[in-house]
Amino acid sequence: MAEETGLQPLSEDWESALAVVAHPDDLEYGAASAIARWTSQGKRVTYLLITHGEAGIDSMPPERAGPLRETEQRNSASVVGVDTVEFLDYRDGAIEYGNPLRRDIARAIRGHRPEVLLSTNYRLLFSGGALNMADHRWVGLAVLDAARDAANRWIFPELLDEGLEPWDGVKMVAFNGSPSPTHAIDVTDHVDKGVASLEEHRVYIENLGQSFDPDMFIRMNANATGELFGCDYAVSFEVITI
């Protein structure tokens, strides 16, 4: 299987993960099915959202959309067994790569001490050639750098003043939705949870228009990856070892 497709089985030799993404719903377009599998195994997964997604609903002003999308994200996380969802206050659509973003993610890594970091596509393009938005790219890059920042006590020493000791236990960073996937995981028994998790973003999805069907979207993508990986449904990741 792996020799034919190039997709290796993603290691599950770990107990805790921190998922760091830009917006509510970023994890639900694929990764949530895998997260449901992992929480069913007793693994601990925590979410860190860099923004509240307040710029994501064209018909709703940010001051209303932000709290609503935060609630939808917490409900969505609960569906796949995640009970800790944290939000930073970066401005949706205007995230900038830099030391503040690296420091804030490193703070979360030191605080939660995960073995795995999860995020979404950080590359310029998606697999179909569409441009990836800046928020996704900058957050993904910052996640990679923060994984090392968290391990070095002399980078962001102010975190030591907060009582956060360095953490060098991150084994890998796994990016869902990458145009260059390296690994996959069988989610056949958990794709229903993945669909239900995306469906919790009800108001946001309604703004996308009637043509978007969460069930069809999740199953078609997971089935396509599953056909390559040798199962009914699978989710792919680009894995970078730290």
Task: Tell me the pLDDT tens digit for each residue of 62-111.
Answer: 999 999 999 999 999 999 999 999 999 999 999 999 999 999 999 999 99
Question: Kind of pairing, strands 8-9 and 183-186?
Answer: parallel
Query: Is position 162 within any domain?
Result: yes
Query: Is position 3 within any domain?
Result: no
The answer to whether the CB of 109 falls within 8 A of the CB of 170 is yes
User: What is the predicted pLDDT for the residue at 2?
Assistant: 42
| C-alpha–C-alpha distance, residues 89 and 75, integer Å | 19
User: What is the predicted pLDDT for the residue at 209?
Assistant: 74
The answer to whether the CB of 185 falls within 8 A of the CB of 10 is yes
Name the pTM for this structure.
0.96
Does residue 5 surpass a pLDDT of 90? no
CATH number where 107 lies: 3.40.50.10320
Counting beta carbons within 10 angstroms of the beta carbon of residue 134, is it exposed (0 to 12), middle (13 to 18) or buried (19 or more)? middle
With left for phi above 0 and alpha for psi between -120 and 50, is residue 40 left, alpha or beta? alpha
Query: Is position 167 within any domain?
Result: yes
Query: Is position 6 within any domain?
Result: no
Counting beta carbons within 10 angstroms of the beta carbon of residue 82, is it exposed (0 to 12), middle (13 to 18) or buried (19 or more)? buried
Find the helix packing angle between 31-40 and 191-199, rounded to 10°. Answer: 120
The mean pLDDT value for 152-178 works out to 98
Query: Is position 89 within any domain?
Result: yes
Number of domains in the chain: 1
Query: Is position 4 within any domain?
Result: no
Which amino acid type is present at position 177? G
User: What is the predicted pLDDT for the residue at 208?
Assistant: 82
Range of the domain at 200: 13-241
Q: Is 110 helix (H, G, I), strand (E, B) or coil?
A: helix
Query: Is position 154 within any domain?
Result: yes
Query: Is position 22 within any domain?
Result: yes
The answer to whether the CB of 80 falls within 8 A of the CB of 35 is yes
| C-alpha–C-alpha distance, residues 35 and 71, integer Å | 19
pLDDT band at 56 (very low <50, low <70, confident <90, very high): very high
pLDDT tens per residue, range 109-147: 999 999 999 999 999 999 999 999 999 999 999 999 999
The mean pLDDT value for 178-186 works out to 97
